[in-house]
Amino acid sequence: MELNWYVLQTKSKQENLVELYLSSANIEVFNPKIQEIRIVREKRKKVTVPLFPCYVFAKLSPSLFDLVIYTRGVRKILGVNGRPKPIKESIVETIKERINGNNHIYIPENCTLEEFCPGDYIVVVDGPLKGFVGVVEKVSTTKAIVMLISMDYQVKAEIHKFLLRKIDPEDLE
């Protein structure tokens, strides 16, 4: 029985719950997190949030799809034409190599932020997604929603702007 990595879309803020349920069913789950500094009740506080909000990775065989789909907190297994599609193991391994032992990435307090506009082509310059290329879809004060285009299929990710640099689309050819 061959196991492959799949991307599971979860309900909002249910990544940890999905990880708990699937791990208890002896399914390998990868739920990378990021530590950020946020203002909570007018004080700076380190908080841990998912690196990919509403997504986790799970190593599955097709015989487990029904179990996973009906797990509380799971919306669907990402795929093509309604059929789950595995992702390359190298994608998960690359992310795992670039984070510390507790599945966390720390965002420094003082960093310069480049300005981006929707439609800008970017490359991720650091962190677990280093080297991935994408297109900016939406921008907030400190983060950008990016459609990563260097995978088998496109995936949206919310990435801190200090990890991104603009590139010329002609450089992609």
Categorize the per-residue pLDDT at 168 as very low, low, confident or very high, splitting at 50, 70 and 90.
Answer: confident
Tokens of 146: 């990016």
Q: What are phi and psi of 62, to 5 degrees?
A: -55, -25
Task: Check residue 68 and give left, alpha or beta (phi > 0: left; psi -120 to 50: alpha).
Answer: alpha
Q: From the CB of residue 83, how many other CB atoms can be counted at a distance below 10 Å?
A: 9
Are residues 91 and 64 located together in one domain of the fold? yes
Q: Cα angle at 100 between 52 and 33, to 5 degrees?
A: 20
Cα–Cα distance between 95 and 92 in angstroms, integer? 5
Domain tally for the chain? Answer: 2
CB 23 within 8 A of CB 83: no
pLDDT of residue 82: 84
62 pLDDT higher than 80: yes
Q: Residue 112 domain-assigned?
A: no
Q: Residue 116 domain-assigned?
A: no
CATH code: domain of residue 158: 2.30.30.30
Q: Residue 48 domain-assigned?
A: yes
Percent of the chain topping pLDDT 90: 34
Please provide the distance, in angstroms rounded to a whole number, between the alpha carbons at the two ends of the chain. Answer: 39
Cα–Cα distance between 148 and 124 in angstroms, integer? 10
pLDDT of residue 34: 79
Question: pLDDT by residue (tens digit) across 8-46?
Answer: 999 999 999 999 999 999 999 999 887 776 667 777 777
Categorize the per-residue pLDDT at 158 as very low, low, confident or very high, splitting at 50, 70 and 90.
Answer: confident
Q: Which of 98, 73, 78 is nearest to 18 (CA)?
A: 73
pLDDT: is 35 or 3 the higher one?
A: 3
Question: pLDDT by residue (tens digit) across 115-156?
Answer: 888 889 998 887 777 888 889 998 887 788 888 876 566 778
Q: Structural domain of residue 81, as residue ranges? A: 4-106
Q: Residue 77 domain-assigned?
A: yes
